[in-house]
Amino acid sequence: MKKIYKQLLNLFLVAAILIGGITAGSMISSASGAKAGDAEMKSTEAEKMEVHFIDVGQGDAALVICDGHAMLIDAGDYSKGTAIQNYLQKQKVKKLDYLILTHPDSDHIGGAPVIITKFEIDKVFVSNYEKDNKTYQKLIQALDNKHLKYTTPEVGAQYSLGTAEITILAPNGTYDDPNDASIAMMLQNGENRFLFTGDAEENAERDILATGIDLSADVYKAGHHGSRTSTSQDFFEAVSPSSAVISCGEDNSYGHPHAETLNTFRMNGVKVYRTDEDGTLIATSDGKRITFNVPASETWKSGEPGANSSVWEVPDQKQETGKSETQSAKKQEVPAVKESQQETGKADTDEITYILNTKTNKFHKLSCSALPTANRKDSSESRESIIAQGYEPCKRCNP
Ligand SMILES: [Zn+2]
Ligand SMILES: [Zn+2]
């Protein structure tokens, strides 16, 4: 019965396309070249999908809504949990089909306990990297309290979110670095493809490439907040995005996004959208076209000190908290985020403690005015163990 019905439906669709093609043909071919047939049928099935890159300062949180279904990818650091909760409620989200926590760094899972406590959640996916710290313990405790199971998804597994489809691309094994253990996924709605790789760095990118899964995407959520340790050349070429979204905090201590990554985007004509400049970004897909709620950034400003003329200047709109709407309709912010954004650095205590210079063997506070741009290594170790490795405290910031 079902099969016959499907075949009949297919016949009808073929007939409809043949007839429709005569009248609409010119319009379709002028818009998208030779694409028709399969792709055409697929996109007519796609419902609207919105991807909200929520401004959580230095960190990640993306809300995807498609056809009444919702998914949250990461939840910022602990000070952003309530802001994300408010944002989800404002979007009328009552239930999450999926909560995906790409990896256990605090700027990705810190806000998750609030979300887990406040929302009904169907499936929770976590990285296979476990951390032995308070932030991680709080996450597991919140999951246990709600009796929620959590698993690491298999590479190649597919899940649906309304008309959109999620394909898992990573982690491809276990890694020494939590960033490399990030869950990566392709999100496809009709013809529109969004790639999320968490903080996966070059090692993990190479392993994602090796899966042979098609990585081409329209929108690439720049790996690791636009760090130069991600978006390696081969990987970028395989993705070949038309747009990139960078989720990072203004004046973050890591220098994200790095100039190298921005240059790669710029040289290849990739449009860049940044939460540090425009606040929460919303990309809307109708299955055929993707539109953003703000124009692409044209500053090409890296977060590295001294790398670009006015990186450290405070734009006017920043000082007028709450009034930015009239000043610039661009910056869309979730309530309370601005306040907590100023704590960036302090909140991430279990992630980065000091900045090392591997050449001079000096170590610095995150707030030091003389942070290295080259030979820089971000450490999450204690002062004692850094000194034990032969590093000396910087004389300027006295860490
Ligand atoms: Zn991160
Ligand atoms: Zn990370």
Note the pLDDT tens digit of each residue in 332-384.
445 443 333 333 333 344 567 888 888 888 888 888 877 887 888 888 888 88
pLDDT at 150 > cutoff 90: yes
pLDDT at 331 > cutoff 70: no
Alpha-carbon distance 143 to 134, whole Å?
A: 14
Distance 352 CA to ligand 2 centre (A): 10
Query: Which tokens sit at 251?
Result: 């004046």
Query: Which CATH number describes the domain made up of 49-306+320-338?
Result: 3.60.15.10
Alpha carbons within 13 angstroms on the beta-carbon side of residue 124 total 23
Q: Between 14 and 54, name the one with better pLDDT.
A: 54
Q: Which residues surround ligand 1, an ion (CB under 5 A)?
A: 107, 199
What pLDDT does 9 receive? 54
Closest ligand to residue 105's CA: 2
Closest ligand to residue 223's CA: 1
Distance 225 CA to ligand 1 centre (A): 6
Distance 105 CA to ligand 1 centre (A): 6
Alpha-carbon distance 272 to 220, whole Å?
A: 10
What pLDDT does 339 receive? 35
What pLDDT does 366 receive? 83
Distance 63 CA to ligand 2 centre (A): 19
Strand, coil or helix: 34: coil
Tell me the CA distances in angstroms from 287 to 28, 53, 189, 197, one per residue in order: 15, 19, 5, 21
Least confident of 45-49, 133-137, 385-389: 385-389
Q: Between 60 and 23, name the one with better pLDDT.
A: 60
Of 146, 197, 144, 204, the C-alpha closest to 173 is 204
Region 319-341: mean pLDDT is 41
Distance 285 CA to ligand 2 centre (A): 28
Q: Between 226 and 383, name the one with better pLDDT.
A: 226
Average pLDDT over the chain reads 84
pLDDT bucket at 43, cuts 50 / 70 / 90: very low
Distance 208 CA to ligand 2 centre (A): 17
Distance 163 CA to ligand 2 centre (A): 30
Tell me whether residue 156 is exposed, middle or buried, using C-beta atoms within 10 angstroms of its C-beta: 0 to 12, 13 to 18, 19 or more: exposed
pLDDT at 106 > cutoff 50: yes
What is the residue extent of each domain of the chain? 49-306+320-338, 354-393
Region 304-326: mean pLDDT is 45
Distance 178 CA to ligand 2 centre (A): 6
What pLDDT does 374 receive? 81
DSSP state of 224: G
Distance 344 CA to ligand 2 centre (A): 14
pLDDT bucket at 8, cuts 50 / 70 / 90: low
Distance 340 CA to ligand 1 centre (A): 17
Distance 105 CA to ligand 2 centre (A): 5
pLDDT bucket at 242, cuts 50 / 70 / 90: very high
Distance 261 CA to ligand 2 centre (A): 17
Q: Between 281 and 14, name the one with better pLDDT.
A: 281
Q: Which residues surround ligand 2, an ion (CB under 5 A)?
A: 105, 179, 199
Distance 60 CA to ligand 1 centre (A): 7
Region 315-322: mean pLDDT is 38
What pLDDT does 334 receive? 54
Region 298-313: mean pLDDT is 70
Q: Between 213 and 363, name the one with better pLDDT.
A: 213
User: What's the predicted TM-score (pTM) here?
Assistant: 0.71
pLDDT bucket at 6, cuts 50 / 70 / 90: low
pLDDT at 253 > cutoff 80: yes
Least confident of 15-29, 128-142, 189-203, 273-287: 15-29
pLDDT at 50 > cutoff 80: yes
Distance 23 CA to ligand 2 centre (A): 52
